[in-house]
Amino acid sequence: MIDSRYRERSKLKWSRGFLSSFLLTITLAYAFYFIPVPYYIYKPGTAEELKPMVKVENGDPEEKGAFMLTTVSMGRSSILSFVLAKLSPNTEIRKKEEVLRGSTEQEYSTRQEYVMLDSQSSSIQAAYKQANIPFRIDSQGVLVMQTIKEYPAYGILLPGDKILQVASKPVLKHEDIVNELKLHKAEEAVDVVVKRGKTEKTVSVTLKDLDAIDKEHGKNSAAGSAPASGGRIGFGISTAELLGITPERSDKKVTIDAGEIGGPSAGLLFSLEIYNQLTPGDLTKSYRIAGTGTIDPSGNVCSIGGIRQKIVAADREKADIFFAPVDRKMGECNLAADVPNASDAADQAKKIDSKMKVVPVATLEEAVRYLESLKPKA
C-alpha cells in the first residue's frame, strides 16, 4: 500500500519540475527569438515599380514595361535570425559597428532618409541634363543629422528634425542658422521651430560656448555654431541641407514620393523613370527593367552595397534586365576599396539560374543608349 502523503509529495515535486522546465523553455525561447545580438542581417528585399512614385507634369505616360528600384531588407539580428542567416545562401551578416560607424540607430536612419532625398535631387538633375532641360537649384531646408551628448541641443533637437526657424527667423540653409547665432550670446535661450515627423514643434535651446565644451571633452569643432568673442556660440549639431530642383519650364516639374524607402542606391533607376516621362516614346519597350546604383548630378553611376540580394529581389519580380554599376577601383567615386558590383551581380544571377540579363553601366547615358538600341519585346 502506497502512503497518500508520498503520492502528494511526488505530485508536488513533479509539478515544480514541470513548472521549472516550462519557465526555462519560455526564457530560452524568448532569448532565442527576441534578444538582439550585435549584428545586422541583410536579405533580399523588394523590386518596386517606379512609375507610381514619380510624377512629371505633362509627362509622357506611355510605359508598357516597367522601371523597378530594388531594395535590401535589413534588420537587427537575434540568435535565431543569426543562425538562419548562416544557413541561407542569399543573406549577408554584418557587424553592428560596421553598419552604424559610431552613430546611433536613429542617426543612421536619419542619414538613410537624407541620402534618399539627396539621391532624388541628383537623379532629377541628371535626368534634366540628359533631356536638355534647364533648371535651377534652391535650398529648401536644414535637417538635423546628429546631436552629441555634451552639447546643448542633445535631447532637445533630434536627428531627423527639419529646422524651420531660429529665434523667429526662417531657415532655408545652414548659413541662416550661423548668421542668426552671431546675434546671440552664451547662456541665452533661443526658440527653435522644427518639423518632427508631420508635426511642427517649438523647443528652447540654451546656447553654449562650444569651444569651451570641446576643450573640456577633447572634441573637434561642432556644427550649428557661430564665431564670437570668447568662442563659438551655438547648438552643437550636425546638419545637412535639403535641395529643391526647379525646371525653367514649369510643365516639366518632377516630384518623387518613395514612401519609407531609404538610401541612395535607387538614383539610376529614378533618373531612367524621370527621363522616360520627360521624353516622347517608351524607353522600356515592354521590358521589366530593374537595377541599382547611386547617381550624381552629372549622371555618373557609382557603387552600392547589397547587390547580390538585389539580384534575387529583381529575379523574383521577373525582371528582364538588371542595370548594375560597373566594377569600380579604389579612388573612383571616392571609394575606399575596390567594389566589383557588376561582377558580383553577374555571378549571383548565375548562381540562382536567372534568365535576367545583367548590364554594367558607368553613366545614365550608357543606360539610355542601351535601351534605345533594343528591339521592342515581343
Active centre residues (catalytic): 265, 310
20: left (phi over 0), alpha (psi -120 to 50) or beta: alpha
* Alpha helices (H) in the chain, listed in sequence order: 4-34, 79-87, 96-100, 105-130, 174-181, 210-217, 267-278, 307-316, 341-351, 364-373
Matching residue, cell 538588371: 322
The neighbour count for residue 344, using CB atoms within 10 Å, is 17
Contact 167, 205 (CB under 8 A): no
Torsion angles phi and psi, residue 41, rounded to 5: -105, 130
Contact 198, 155 (CB under 8 A): no
d(CA 157, CA 154): 6
Which strand (E) or helix (H) includes residue 231? strand 231-234
Q: What angle do CA 120, 157, 147 make, to 5 degrees?
A: 80
Contact 129, 299 (CB under 8 A): yes
Of residues 88, 61, 62, the one with CA closest to residue 73: 88
d(CA 186, CA 206): 8
